[in-house]
Amino acid sequence: MSTDNWIAVDWGTTHLRTWHMNSAGDILSNRCSNQGMNSLLPDQFEAALLSLISPWLSDDHSTQVLACGMVGSRQGWLEANYNSTPCAPISQLTQVPVTDLRIEVYICPGVKQLEPADVMRGEETQIAGLLASDANFNGAVCLPGTHSKWAQINEGKISSFQTFLTGELYALLSQKSVLRHCVDCNEWDDQAFKLAILDSITKPDRVTTELFSIRAQTLITDLSAGEANARLSGLLIGLELTGAKAFSHKDGVALVGDNKLCEIYLQALTVIGVKATIHPSEQMTLKGLQLAHQQLVSGV
């Protein structure tokens, strides 16, 4: 095994994903598990990592491991620093003390914003990957997810960003609220979604009323479970788009995330006349981690 090989790690709240990489950024192998941050104590992270990557390690030399995500949170393996906006997406890696001499582990920093207060961990690595793909990118990046992020990029730096609880609200309302009786998360209706986007954007003050109306419509107007699901999603994403108006849309929006979710956001942005392009999250994460590895090797 070449000493130039290294390991990329995306360690989130619920999942651990690892890739064995060569110096050119090619994937040699990959493995994953459900041992996310939420399931581990600080002294269990090293063992969880080794359970996946041991076949890629050598007794003759140490292998560099570059990790991003919630592994660097206060509840993770070791709290990594936050860089303050405006800042480059990745710099000042945090090295983690380990007992196994076959590995050197480094965690990418998060990004913080003092006013209004906000933080991100993991998304900055995806943004770094986007900029590695297009060094001249300037404008808005949307990273849909449980906590959707919108970031403004200017001259290679994150100048500002904002988090929306859209995905978490959708999960809570569809699974824990009265709407659980009428929403089928596996069904969808494009027209209901588009109308809900417009209703939310034009009448944001009525969104909580419109949310309960989903339940009422299923009882008295035979609104289908797919229409109810699409309407719930549209009302919440419409609120997010309303709150994200401050981010530059003149050259479109770069969507980074799960392809299915990005397609929904693409549809929503199209409704309001904003162009968007989709960039797969795994690809952007690996490009960002490769950039971090290059910085480590070069001593930047």
User: Does 104 lie in the same domain as 171?
Assistant: no
Spatial contact of 6 and 55, defined as CB atoms under 8 Å apart? no
What's the CA angle centered on 140, arms 139 and 146, to 5 degrees? 160
Question: How confident is the model at residue 156, as a pLDDT?
Answer: 95
Query: For residue 27, what is the domain's CATH number?
Result: 3.30.420.300
Single pTM value for the model = 0.94
Range(s) of the domain holding residue 81 = 6-121
Buried/exposed 11-48: b ≥16 CB within 10 Å, e otherwise: bbbebbbbbbbeeebeeeeeeeeebbbeebeeeebbeb
Nearest to 269 by CA among 279, 257, 277, 280: 277
Q: Indicate whether 97 belongs to any domain.
A: yes
Enumerate residue ranges in the chain where pLDDT < 50: 1
Question: How confident is the model at residue 300, as a pLDDT?
Answer: 67
Q: Which of 87, 121, 155 is the last residue of a domain?
A: 121
Which single residue is written with the structure tokens 């994903």?
17
Question: How confident is the model at residue 1, as a pLDDT?
Answer: 46
Q: Indicate whether 154 belongs to any domain.
A: no
Q: Indicate whether 38 belongs to any domain.
A: yes
Q: Indicate whether 296 belongs to any domain.
A: no
Query: For residue 242, what is the domain's CATH number?
Result: 3.30.420.310
> How many CB atoms within 10 Å of residue 236?
24
Spatial contact of 250 and 87, defined as CB atoms under 8 Å apart? no
Q: Indicate whether 68 belongs to any domain.
A: yes
Measured CA distances, 255 to 138, 151, 179, 252, 288 (Å): 13, 11, 28, 10, 16
Question: How confident is the model at residue 250, as a pLDDT?
Answer: 83
Number of folded domains that form the chain? 2
User: Does 104 lie in the same domain as 203?
Assistant: no
What's the CA angle centered on 264, arms 261 and 269, to 5 degrees? 125
